[in-house]
Amino acid sequence: MATLKLGVLGSGSGSNMQSIVDAVEENALDAEVRLVLSDVPNAKILDRAERHSIPNRYLDCAPWKTKLEGPAEDECIRLLKEAGCDTVVLAGFMRIVKPKLLVAFPMRVLNIHPALLPAFPGVHSWKQALDYGCKVAGVTVHFVDAGTDSGPIIVQRSVPVLEDDTPESLHARIQVEEHIAYPEALRLLAAGRITVDGRRVRISP
């Protein structure tokens, strides 16, 4: 049986989930994606899961628009537990998760953020980096805590910001690194190489 039993939450295209599934299928990650949930009906991430025969479903998160709370949060936790998930992967999930999920999966909820945190938390961070005039941008995979994009950092990868970049071209360059960073962070977790010491994530050799 695979070491990590993953539940993936996403709202959009699912390219990060795809990179994780690809790593699993290439035997480059000792994990199994057990369930994919999306708060957006017909999101592409669900199609991708379907194509790989991964159980998937839409999770109605109404009436909240920006957070996972209340009955939807309970249902999410129930579905993840029922599927035997031990690790929750937020992959383009456009909602704030609340403490209940974090308590149900202690230090086992990960997120990917398209910026070099702590710079530019929140939405459209690649555009924020561009508008700010940064010369370097990037991606962060981190444990989720009660804040927004504020948990201990596991992996970061950087990209240059080019003179003629648009928000789209910069985001595309960052996404290439995202697809390396998420499987890498999960590989470290699967190998038991991660120790969290306050804010610092130590990676053993």
Binding site for ligand GRF (CB under 6 A): 10, 12-16, 45, 91-92, 112-114, 175, 178
Q: Specify whether the CB–CB gap between 82 and 76 falls below 8 A.
A: no
Minimum CB separation from ligand GRF for residue 76, in Å?
Answer: 18
Minimum CB separation from ligand GRF for residue 85, in Å?
Answer: 18
Q: Of 52, 113, 124, 171, which is the active-site residue?
A: 113
Can you list the alpha helix ranges (DSSP code H) found in 35-166?
44-51, 70-82, 99-104, 125-132
Minimum CB separation from ligand GRF for residue 113, in Å?
Answer: 6
Nearer to ligand GRF, 7 or 92 (CB): 92
Nearer to ligand GRF, 15 or 128 (CB): 15
Nearer to ligand GRF, 72 or 90 (CB): 90
113 as an active site residue: the answer is yes
Q: Give the nearest residue (CB) to ligand GRF.
A: 92
Can you list the alpha helix ranges (DSSP code H) found in 69-204?
70-82, 99-104, 125-132, 167-190
Sign of CA dihedral 172, 176, 179, 180: negative
Phi-psi region of 120 (alpha: psi -120 to 50; beta: other; left: phi over 0): left
Minimum CB separation from ligand GRF for residue 43, in Å?
Answer: 8
Q: What are all long-range contacts of 125-130, with beta carbons under 8 Å and residues at least 24 apart?
A: 126/167, 126/170, 126/171, 126/174, 127/167, 127/170, 127/171, 129/161, 129/170, 130/161, 130/165, 130/166, 130/167, 130/170
Nearer to ligand GRF, 85 or 91 (CB): 91
Catalytic annotation, residues: 113
